Structure 1
Amino acid sequence: MSIGLFHTRLNISNGLLGAPVLTLDLLVNTVTKQVSGIASVFVATWPTVNFRARVWGDYSEAKLTSSVENHLILTLEGSPSGPLSQIAETFHLRGILGADWASGFVDYRYQEQGQWHVVRHAAVSQASTQPVQPPHHVQPLYAVAIQQAQTSGDLAQLKSVVSQGEQQLAHAGTLRSALDQLNAEIARLEAR
């Protein structure tokens, strides 16, 4: 275990398909044994959940009778705006972690849309603390806007949409022929 102040990111899930996945992004102070950070719960199935709370708490070291290693007893509370806020707490967690902060089991509950959801005995694993780089810049396509402009016969709108598409897709050679076809369509409409 690190001494002083360190960052850790934990993924917590019971492994069931469609079950909530909790991510804890924590800053740990080993001198005061205080923890703070962000808790995010994500559920991909209906009804989807995208819960976030600022969390704070502490941990203590414990030696379990059946083990030769030390374990950590972690306790966290959370709310949308932090520990000094007057907003009611919406997150609670209790768990036992390995001394390396990379394994263990927790029970937690979170309040989403006025209803408490409880998750018991979810497994802890360490997640990468490297920032996730988004894929290349996403460029919108204008098919719907072009189709609407074509059906309405609004030549100015069609030119504007095609111009925006040309600017954004200047480096995308594979879509160049589609733009050429649209420009030909504009020329045909102008010739009328």
Structure 2
Amino acid sequence: MPTIPRIGLFPARYTVGTGLPGAPTLTLGLLIDTPRRTVIGGASITQAVNPPLDFHADTWGSFSYMALMPPVETPILMTLQGNTGGPESNSITTFRLHLVLNGDWHAGVANYSYLIDGRWQDISNVPAKLDLEFVPLEPGPVIPGDPHGGPTPLYGVSIQHAVATGDLAHMKTLATFAQQQLDSREGIKAGLSALNEEIARLEAAR
């Protein structure tokens, strides 16, 4: 099973929910800065109720390693909050999350709350799972993909929200992260080329 880089900057998408009919599903699109141990991104919650739930928030926060005695794997605690517009906006907090992940970042358990129609809704002890097909080997570009139906960039929606709010500090933060992703493109191309060459060599040796 592929692992997630423990250094640098990488995007990740998590699905949080039981998968049961009528239960809410939280989707987190995150950019994780491991040197600074900070996290920024977006959260969306959907639920097949009447009327349907469609909740969105810009999120930010941090993560830490929860030290345990060996040989227990060190879990990761991610703490996020969110609103409309980001940390520098004047919007009230509408989202809170505590997510405990396994040391490989692949799965965990979440508790989260969201404010809807003036009331907080609390969701406890629900499984969280990393979308492995979404996470690239290294941070990928945030420029728009194929206009005919390619993958949606991780920060496309967040960038649009930041521009709409006019929050200068939030826009600068996203611009920094986006530039770091764009700067990594040549490294990704070189790595992919080497990977394809090794795949071809191994297949030819069979």
Q: TM-score, normalised by structure 1?
A: 0.65
For the structure 1 residues 67 and 13, does the alpha-carbon distance in structure 2 shift closer, same or farther, using more than 3 Å as the test?
farther
* 1: CA distance, partners of 2:30 / 2:19: 22
Aligned with residue 129 of structure 1, among 131, 134, 150: 134
- Selected match of 1:11 from 12, 15, 25: 15
Residue 93 of structure 1, CA deviation:
0.2
Which one of 28, 32, 36 corresponds to residue 36 of structure 2?
32
* CA distance, structure 2, for counterparts of residue 39 and residue 66 of structure 1: 34
Percent identity over paired residues: 35
Tell me the number of residue pairs that the alignment of Structure 1 and Structure 2 aligns: 135
Structure 1 residue 67: Cα displacement:
5.7
The Cα offsets for residues 33-81 of structure 1, whole Å up to 9 and x where unpaired, read as 0000000001122231110000000000113358621110110000011
CA gap of 1:42–1:56, structure 2 versus 1, over 3 A, is same
Q: Which residue of 1 aligns with 2:100?
A: 96
What are the ranges of 5 or more consecutive residues in structure 2 without an aligned counterpart?
A: 136-144, 151-206
- Pairwise mapping of residues 77-156 of structure 1 onto structure 2 (< 5 A)? 77-127=81-131, 128-129=133-134, 134=149
Letter paired with 1:38: G
Following the alignment from structure 1 to structure 2, what is the Cα–Cα distance between the partners of residues 63 and 16?
33
Q: 1:134 deviation in Å?
A: 4.4
Q: Is the CA contact 1:14–1:121 (under 8 Å) kept in the aligned structure 2?
A: no
4+ long deviations beyond 6 Å: 130-133
Task: Tell me the secondary structure at the aligned position of residue 57 of structure 1.
Answer: strand
CA distance in 2, matches of 1:107, 1:27: 20
Give per-residue Cα distances to partners, 1:154-179, cap 9 Å, x unaligned: xxxxxxxxxxxxxxxxxxxxxxxxxx
Name the structure, 1 or 2, with higher relative contact order (CA <8 Å, separation 6+): 2
Which ranges in structure 1 are unaligned for 5 or more consecutive residues?
136-192
Q: 1:87 to 1:68 in 2, by over 3 A?
A: same
Q: Structure 1 residue 115: deviation in Å?
A: 1.7
Counterpart in the other structure of 1:158: none
The change in CA–CA distance for 1:106 and 1:66 in structure 2 (over 3 A counts) is: farther
Could you say which residue in structure 1 is the equivalent of 2:180? Answer: none
Give the AA of the match of 1:28.
I
Q: Which has the higher strand share?
A: 1
Secondary structure at the counterpart of residue 70 of structure 1? coil
Residue number in structure 2 paired with 1:68: 72
Structure 1 CA distance, aligned partners of 2:121 and 2:68? 29
- Separation in 2, partners of 1:117, 1:8: 25
